[in-house]
Amino acid sequence: MSTERLEWIDSRKEPLLDTLMQLSAINSGTGNLSGLHDTQNALHSLFSPLADKIEIDDSLSVERTDHLGITADQHYGKIISFSKRKTAPFQVLLCGHMDTVFPKEHSFQSPEKIDDRLLKGPGVADMKGGILVMLTALEAFESSPGNDAIGWKVVLSSDEETGSLGSSSVLENAATKSHVGMIYEPALADGTLAGARKGSGNFTLVAHGKSAHAGREFNKGRNAIVALSEFINQIAALSNLEQDITVNVARITGGTAVNVVPDLAVCQFNVRCPEPQQLRDIQHKLGAIVAAQNARDDVRFTLSGGFTRPPKTISPGTQLLMDWTRECGDSLNTAVRFRDTGGCCDGNNLAAAGLPNVDTLGVCGANIHTDQEYMLIDSLTQRAKLSYKLLKKIASHGDQLIELSNAEKAS
């Protein structure tokens, strides 16, 4: 039966490619709520025949400060979930996201089959192709013997590309009720999967000075840009390449006319580090720098944002799952390799909730987040077979992971 299921997956290559091109043609940038709704409806039709229960949740609205220093509520698309056998003793959480980084005004809107090997298009790798890998693996698993050994839940969010701020509570709640996570971010073009991941935080710093005429009353002004530049030098110095800590000053705005002392300046920056203690240390240092600057009483600083992706370290449960993924790859004559990365995804958050997970089970591709994004067409079925095999492995050896998963959540 296993051989038959693998052959069936191989037979799905062309239908999967057609479906992926249809999904890619729907713009679902994180801010395009109508496009995300259309994508949700398409995925509802694909997944609903498999599920016992379907849930649609609102994402949380989150207060955010933009690059102009304006604070407002950020709204996100809905979260759709499909579940099967919720009372089974072993529960698997499969995660994906519907959103892409390409807004509806972007020029990159349509998929294009370059040749028999490559498909280029928005979201084909990150991660609409991965969602179809997930779907195909579940279809094969549900038609195989022994499928009642595990229950599963699929969660498809609408805001992963901006940090999963609106969906984090749904993901965390699902993680607490599961024993293992499978996430369908793209693998690298050569098939390499992500191992440990850095933690990441996005911050916005607003400097409030005092405007004045640059000629007549220069001394009455308080230059927010000058004060901000001093702050930037201090936070940039927090980078420590030996410890793999990076602070990336990404965007600066401020000022109006050249004859006006600027009273507002804004800096947005990203911090990444591999260890949880480093994250806490950086947070403390940032607070201390802000407090010291505000004690000067001439320019006031406000810092918003924070670490939304904790570091993902390799726990015993995650290591076992990675070993199983390698074994499944070997059974398919496919070498599976892992490599640590500075990138982040929902795997960071699930690991922080104590859930062992592998988070790059999607298609193989490259150039994600650019208008050159592509995926390898054959990986649609190759990766579906890998996930099918992994689901079968979990079904037959789940007790080992239950013990490790429970221990991680307890700690």
- Considering the domain architecture, whether residues 25 and 155 belong to the same structural domain is answered as yes
**How many helices (H) and strands (E) in the chain?**
10, 20
Angle, to 10 degrees, between the axis of helix 379-410 and the axis of helix 2-11? 120
| 3-state SS class at 210 | strand
Report whether 151 contacts 72 (CB < 8 A).
Answer: no
* Cis? peptide before 127, omega within 30° of 0: yes
Residue 184 DSSP class: B
Domain boundary among 245, 279, 309: 309
- Considering the domain architecture, whether residues 304 and 167 belong to the same structural domain is answered as no
- Considering the domain architecture, whether residues 322 and 265 belong to the same structural domain is answered as no
Q: Which residues contact 178 (CB under 8 A, 6 or more apart)?
A: 91, 92, 93, 153, 355, 405
Q: Which residues contact 28 (CB under 8 A, 6 or more apart)?
A: 35, 36, 38, 39, 77, 98, 99, 100, 123, 158
Q: What is the CATH number of the domain that holds 130?
A: 3.40.630.10
What tens-digit pLDDT sequence spans the chain (411 residues)?
578 999 999 999 999 999 999 999 999 999 999 999 999 999 999 999 999 999 999 998 887 787 878 888 889 999 999 999 999 989 999 999 999 999 999 999 999 999 999 999 999 999 999 999 999 999 999 999 888 999 999 999 999 999 999 999 999 999 999 999 999 999 999 999 999 999 999 999 999 999 999 999 999 999 999 999 988 999 999 999 999 999 999 999 999 999 999 999 999 999 999 999 999 999 999 999 999 888 877 899 999 999 999 999 999 999 999 999 999 999 999 999 999 999 999 999 999 999 999 999 999 999 999 999 999 999 999 999 999 999 999 999 888 877 777 777 777
Q: What is the pLDDT of residue 1?
A: 55
- Considering the domain architecture, whether residues 190 and 230 belong to the same structural domain is answered as no
Rounded CA gap, 81 and 175, in Å?
Answer: 13
- Considering the domain architecture, whether residues 169 and 251 belong to the same structural domain is answered as no
Domain boundary among 250, 283, 309: 309
Q: How many domains does the chain have?
A: 2
Q: What is the CATH number of the domain that holds 251?
A: 3.30.70.360
Q: Which domain holds residue 256?
A: 199-309
Q: What is the pLDDT of residue 70?
A: 81
- Considering the domain architecture, whether residues 157 and 224 belong to the same structural domain is answered as no
- Considering the domain architecture, whether residues 128 and 255 belong to the same structural domain is answered as no
**Assigned token pair, 179:** 């024993």
Domain boundary among 309, 343, 369: 309
| Cα within 13 Å of Cα(92), Cβ side | 27
- Considering the domain architecture, whether residues 329 and 291 belong to the same structural domain is answered as no
